[in-house]
């Protein structure tokens, strides 16, 4: 027997099973219910709403085998056979993350195909695999940030069982799984939930209408989001969630939704006896997100730190346009390595105002900040989706990797970065509606034409070739240049895991100094020195080096309290201090 439930205040929904419609019974708080004895797992169903022409799927559907516009299907979470009973979890502190898009990680673009590449990630040495959103969205492929079914894994990737097989296999390999989730808006097509109830507010954000988090009926909307969060962690055994663009969650309630989620996830973590993590993406530069609730914060475990990316990217590439305007100097790099944020109550030229709040270096651990050289946004939101590989020399790529993976933050790699992949990662969609497809195509071209790009040079998001060229080319891994880069990433991650100084999270213990195109970072008894110049440089370590643990180029020479660095190179040394 299956009990069908739906929240639809001021509606009188009917349940559609096959060709028949069934009246539902009203319950408390605008909920409707119906028990159907012979509707077991695998039964397709939908709801019929007055004044809505066609039956629509369940807002809490666990399975959409015919896409987001098709009927829902009853799914039994207990039917899957898990083999990860001995899995004790992975926490963010001490971990290295790896961001992956299922659709472009492998040629087949499925959960099962990704499983075949997990040994590569084990060899690399990462700890947590972060999947871009996999909940059901309109079309066959896109980035995933226009999802509309917040309880159902995308069918083209492998559906509910496919995601479970991936998580189960990852745990068997010792890898944790973080899932990227979007709760700040619904996608533009297939969002049927607002037809049932007041899921949306009168406000809007960059991507669409805002969620109703603090108005009439908001209690059930918040419950909708919280239940989705708990479902991924409990029923799919994932180890953490990355919460997309939380600055777009407008909530004026006394207890912010983020704090509510932190409380409920902590309760679930205690019950499951394994660590569960919430990682925020935020444009606010506000450490309140990761400040413990006992100290008046929201109690999230970590947040993305774009300032670290901007400091590294501008320094390595020389780019200064847009939001990069205030970045690009070694002074900026020192500020972010020692204090996490550059904009910390300081003037932002891009915003035309002061921005951010300082981080308490004495009390806030560096592992609460996820740092990266590249990610899906910073590559894919460039006009042609070009990676750093297209811009930087191998030497500077290696310098960037060294600075990232020896930083006091939680480092994250973007798929293929570890072998200097040359495939772009572009903005791609597969909207079946002609009007929506045209709007996306034209909007993308207009956006970049304003920044000086010829419209013809901007890839068409709807062209299948844009999606295909964004897939990783795994044959590169064994080719000259790429294999050496992979070896360096492996060594850097292994060194990070083996040397406690390199994972020490306390920002107050990080000391940075720099000169003309060189920088030195002291991490306890270890020092990281980088030469960004095209000529050799002699750099003071302010301590006597005793051993070279890693060098990105041959020809490093130790001299008393100094090191001679080849052009565009970096070194990690143990010192006498």
Q: Is 441 annotated as a binding residue?
A: no
**Tokens (6 digits) for 424:** 């772009």
Catalytic residue among 58, 180, 259, 281: 281
Would you say 307 is a known binding-site residue? Answer: yes
The distance of Cα 98 from the centroid of its chain, to the nearest Å, equals: 9
- The answer on whether 127 is annotated among ligand-binding residues is no
380 labelled binding-site residue: yes
90 annotated ligand binder: no
Tokens coding 405: 């993976």
CB 145 within 8 A of CB 194: no
The kind and range of the H/E element at 105 are helix 102-105
Q: What distance in Å separates the CA atoms of residue 316 and residue 313, rounded to the nearest whole number?
A: 5
Q: Is 146 part of any known ligand binding site?
A: no
281 among known catalytic residues: yes
**Distance, CA of 351 to CA of 494 (rounded, Å):** 39
Q: What is the DSSP string of 279-290?
A: EE--SS--GGGG
Consult the annotation and say whether 310 binds a ligand. Answer: yes
- The pairing of beta strand 147-153 with beta strand 526-531: unpaired
Angle at 155 between CA 381 and CA 32, to 5 degrees: 105
Name which of 553, 572, 562, 528 is nearest 398 in CA terms: 553
| Residue 308 assigned ligand-binding role | yes
Residue pair 299/292 in contact (Cβ under 8 Å)? The answer is yes
Q: Which of 127, 244, 460, 568 is catalytic?
A: 244
CA atoms of 52 and 70, how far apart (whole Å)? 15
| Residue 22 assigned to a binding site | no
**What is the Cα–Cα distance from 499 to 515, expressed in whole angstroms?**
26
473 is in an annotated binding site: no
* Number of residues assigned to the chain: 577
- 3-class SS of residue 355: strand
Spatial separation of the C-alpha atoms in residues 285 and 159, rounded to whole Å: 36
510 in a known ligand binding site: no
- Contact partners, residue 168, CB within 8 Å, separation at least 6: 82, 83, 84, 237
Is 245 annotated among the ligand-binding residues?
yes
CA–CA separation, 49 vs 24, rounded Å?
12
* Distances, alpha carbon 546 to alpha carbons 86, 210, 218, 228, 373, in Å: 42, 57, 61, 52, 30
Distance (Å, whole) CA 217 – CA 214: 8
Task: Confirm or deny that 244 is annotated as ligand binding.
Answer: yes
Is residue 244 among the annotated active site residues?
Answer: yes
Residue 547 · residue 573 · CB < 8 Å: yes
Annotated binding-site ranges = 242-247, 306-310, 376-381
Annotated binding-site ranges for substrate = 242-247, 306-310, 376-381
Catalytic residue set: 244, 281
């Amino acid at each position: 027997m299956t009990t069908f439930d739906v929240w639809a205040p001021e509606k009188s929904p009917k349940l559609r099973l096959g060709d028949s419609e069934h009246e539902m019974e009203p319950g408390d708080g605008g909920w409707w219910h119906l028990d159907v004895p012979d509707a077991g797992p695998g039964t397709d169903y939908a709801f019929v709403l007055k004044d809505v022409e066609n039956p629509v799927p369940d807002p809490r559907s666990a399975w959409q085998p015919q896409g987001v516009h098709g009927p829902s299907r009853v799914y039994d979470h207990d039917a899957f056979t898990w083999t990860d009973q001995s899995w004790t979890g992975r926490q963010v502190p001490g971990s290295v993350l790896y961001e992956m898009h299922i659709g472009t990680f492998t040629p087949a673009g499925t959960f099962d195909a990704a499983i075949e590449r997990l040994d590569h990630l084990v060899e690399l040495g990462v700890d947590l695999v972060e999947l871009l959103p996999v909940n059901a969205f309109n079309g066959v492929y896109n980035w995933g940030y226009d999802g509309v079914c917040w309880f159902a894994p995308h069918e083209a990737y492998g559906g509910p069982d496919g995601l479970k097989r991936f998580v189960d296999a990852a745990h068997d390999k010792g890898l944790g799984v973080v899932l990227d989730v979007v709760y700040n808006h619904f996608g533009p097509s297939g969002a049927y939930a607002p037809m049932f109830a007041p899921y949306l507010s009168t406000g809007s954000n960059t991507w669409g209408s805002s969620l109703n988090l603090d108005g009439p009926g908001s209690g059930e909307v918040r419950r909708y989001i919280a239940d989705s969060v708990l479902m991924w962690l409990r029923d799919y055994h994932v180890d953490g969630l990355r919460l997309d663009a939380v600055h777009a969650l407008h909530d004026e309630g006394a207890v912010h939704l983020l704090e509510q989620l932190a409380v409920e996830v902590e309760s679930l973590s205690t019950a499951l006896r394994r660590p569960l993590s919430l990682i925020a993406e935020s444009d606010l530069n506000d450490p309140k997100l990761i400040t413990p609730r006992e100290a008046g914060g929201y109690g999230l475990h970590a947040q993305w730190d774009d300032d670290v990316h901007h400091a590294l990217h501008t320094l390595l590439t020389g780019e200064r346009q847009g939001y990069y305007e205030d970045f690009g100097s070694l002074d900026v790099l020192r500020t972010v390595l020692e204090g996490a944020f550059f904009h910390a109550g300081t003037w932002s030229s891009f915003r035309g105002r002061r921005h951010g709040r300082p981080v308490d270096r004495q009390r806030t651990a560096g592992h609460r900040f996820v740092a990266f050289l590249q990610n899906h946004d910073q590559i894919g939101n460039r006009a042609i989706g070009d990676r750093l590989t297209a811009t930087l020399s191998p030497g500077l790529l290696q310098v960037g990797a060294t600075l990232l993976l020896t930083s006091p933050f939680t480092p994250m790699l973007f798929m293929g970065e570890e072998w200097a992949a040359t495939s772009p990662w572009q903005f791609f969609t597969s909207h079946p509606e002609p009007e929506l497809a045209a709007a996306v195509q034209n909007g993308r071209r207009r956006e970049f034409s304003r920044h000086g790009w010829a419209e013809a040079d901007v890839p068409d998001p709807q062209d299948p070739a844009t999606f295909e060229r964004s897939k990783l080319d795994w044959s590169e891994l064994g080719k000259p240049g790429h294999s050496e880069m992979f070896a360096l990433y492996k060594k850097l991650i292994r060194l990070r895991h083996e040397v406690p100084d390199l994972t020490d999270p306390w920002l107050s213990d990080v000391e940075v100094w720099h000169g003309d195109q060189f920088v030195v970072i002291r991490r306890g008894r270890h020092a990281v020195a980088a030469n960004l110049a095209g000529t050799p440089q002699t750099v003071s370590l302010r301590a006597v080096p005793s051993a070279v643990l890693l060098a990105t180029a041959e020809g490093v020479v130790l001299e008393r309290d100094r090191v001679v660095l080849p052009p565009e190179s970096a070194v990690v040394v143990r010192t006498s201090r």
